[in-house]
Structure 1
Amino acid sequence: MNAAKRAEIFRRLKEDNPEPTTELEYQSVFELLVAVILSAQATDVGVNKATARLFPVANTPEAIHALGVEGLEQYIKTIGLYRSKAKNVIETCRLLIERHNGAVPSTREELEALPGVGRKTANVVLNTAFRQPAMAVDTHIFRVSNRTGIAPGKTVLEVEKKLVKFVPREYLLDAHHWLILHGRYVCKARKPQCGSCRIEDLCEYKAKTSDD
């Protein structure tokens, strides 16, 4: 795919959604971090239901740490892998208090040193909270990048690096959100809705569906 096609794809995605953001609900950088940790192998809807119960009771590292693992589990047990996630969140809260005065750090190295925070989670926080040009590649973005031809790659890291390299600079900050939403609602895994896709004429996917 050439640069002109990529630029037009993101121009249209921006035109349709000028200010995209995560569908996770949060009011602070810390709440975002917790929500993203909880969202691994879970839906944003499911995470939002759990945090709607948790955050009114505890939404700081100190308050969540005070709940303890078992206390936190009661709020997040509707989410998959909740036991391991509860342990990770409690330990992350402890480290935030001890190492960062309760604040969420803004560097990849410091974020990835926290339990439950891998490269993808760090990228989401860096991009969404700190507005850094980081690219969090989840299953949706991996699929869309390969299927359309925007940034094909065999691994998540390869796709991430190609996106950072190929996405036009003026669209890079919001590209993560546009791609994830496009994959979630239009370029679906089993049956992409090519007939109602805004970028169908630019997409290089060969097995396009004809109906909506």
Structure 2
Amino acid sequence: MNNQKRTQILERLRAENPHPETELKWSSPFELLIAVLLSAQATDVSVNKATDKLYPIANTPQAIYDLGVEGVKTYIKTIGLFNSKAENVIKTCKILLNKHNGEIPEDREALEALPGVGRKTANVVLNTAFGWPTIAVDTHIFRVSNRTKFAMGKNVDQVEEKLLKVVPTEFKVDVHHWFILHGRYTCIARKPRCGSCIIEDLCEFKDKIYPDE
């Protein structure tokens, strides 16, 4: 795919959704961090249901740490891998309290040092909470990037590297959200909704699917 076509794709996605946002509910960088940590192998809907109950009770590192592992589990037990996630949440809160005065560090290395926080989670926090031009590649972004031929790669790191290279600066902050939403609702995994896709004519996917097929 050439850069002119990439720019056209991004311009259309921006026109449709000028100010894209994550579907995770959050009101502070800490709430976002915990929500993203919980979202691994889970849907945003399931995470929001859990945090809707958790955050009114505890939404700071100290308050959640005071709940303890078992206390956190009672709020997140409907989410996959809740046992290990609860332990990581408590460990993360402890580090935030001891090393960062209870604040979320605006620093990639410090974020990735937190239990359960990898590069993708750090990218989401840096992008969504702090406005960094980072691109967290999840399953949706990986699929959309490869299927459309926008930024091809054999793994998430390769796709991230390619996206950072080919996405113009003016689109970098928002492309993460555009591609996630496009992959979640239009360019879905098993049967992409090509007939209702706003970038269908620009996409280089050879096996497009239409309603009458």
State the partner residue of 2:146: 146
> Could you tell me how far 1:210 is from its partner in structure 2?
2.1
Question: 5 Å matches for 1:112-127?
Answer: 112-127=112-127
| Cα shift readout 1:113-158 (whole Å, capped 9, x = no counterpart) | 0001001000000100011011100000000000001100001000
Question: 5 Å matches for 1:95-110?
Answer: 95-110=95-110
| Cα shift readout 1:1-59 (whole Å, capped 9, x = no counterpart) | 01100000000000000000100001100000000000000000000000000000000
Report the AA paired with residue 180 of structure 1: I
Instruction: Indicate the SS of the match to 1:52.
Output: helix
Report the AA paired with residue 66 of structure 1: D
State the partner residue of 1:24: 24
Within 2, Cα distance between the matches of 1:69 and 1:128? 27
| Cα shift readout 1:140-186 (whole Å, capped 9, x = no counterpart) | 00000000011000010000010011011111100000000000000
Instruction: Indicate the SS of the match to 2:132.
Output: coil
Question: 5 Å matches for 1:1-20?
Answer: 1-20=1-20
Instruction: Indicate the SS of the match to 1:111.
Output: helix
State the partner residue of 1:200: 200
TM-score by length of 1: 0.99
State the partner residue of 2:41: 41
State the partner residue of 1:55: 55
Within 2, Cα distance between the matches of 1:73 and 1:191? 36
> Could you tell me how far 1:193 is from its partner in structure 2?
0.3
Instruction: Indicate the SS of the match to 2:98.
Output: helix
> Could you tell me how far 1:211 is from its partner in structure 2?
1.9
How many residues of Structure 1 are paired with residues of Structure 2 in the alignment?
212
Report the AA paired with residue 57 of structure 1: I
- Percent identical: 67
Within 2, Cα distance between the matches of 1:137 and 1:75? 28
RMSD: 0.7
State the partner residue of 1:171: 171
Within 2, Cα distance between the matches of 1:168 and 1:12? 14
Consecutive aligned runs of 4 or more in structure 1 exceeding 2 Å deviation: none
TM-score by length of 2: 0.99
State the partner residue of 2:189: 189
State the partner residue of 2:75: 75
What are structure 2's unaligned runs of at least 5 residues? none
Instruction: Indicate the SS of the match to 2:78.
Output: coil
State the partner residue of 1:64: 64
What are structure 1's unaligned runs of at least 5 residues? none
